[in-house]
Amino acid sequence: MGTSGNKWPVNSKEIVSAIHPNPPILLSVTINSNSVFLEWLSGNSDCYPVQEYYIYDNDEIIQRVPYPNLSTEVTDLFNCTTNVFYITAVIYKTQSDPSNSLSAFIDLPYGPTITYYDSTCNGGITLIWEMQQEVCLTIDYYNIYEVGA
């Protein structure tokens, strides 16, 4: 069998690695308001260095993180949404299988806005309020506080 010598094979589009990287291990997802912080371990040895990691949210690639970073922050997540994250390792355009997945439910606790208030004759007060943001879960009750009391 002959070789192509010093030329690339005819009709070659691109060269990809024959080494299939091991998947990373997603360790934690820490929720911070409408963002999350992801941390993972590399599944590969230094003999086959990863070039970058692809971060997925609900099966869509959302970030590319260069090696040797093993953490990232994902920002601007939508309220009332469950985000399912996983990571792949990349060596010369060859992706690993997905890592384990971890979920984060974003539930930002927005308070209501008082739209009307009025004093009553007996020393009480009437309040009317409305929610300015989407509420993820059913509200059972409100706590009302008096400033300075």
As a whole number, the mean pLDDT across the chain is: 86
Rg (CA), the chain: 26
Note the pLDDT tens digit of each residue in 14-41. Answer: 666 677 899 999 999 999 988 999 999 9
Closest alpha carbon to 55 in 33, 76, 40, 43: 40
Confidence check: pLDDT of 125 > 80: yes
Q: Please report, rounded to a whole number, the percentage of residues in the chain having pLDDT higher than 70.
A: 85
Cβ atoms 15, 92 nearer than 8 A? yes
- In this predicted structure, what is the pLDDT of residue 75? 95
Note the pLDDT tens digit of each residue in 40-52. Answer: 999 876 677 899 9
Distances (CA, A) of 21 to 44, 89, 100: 7, 6, 15
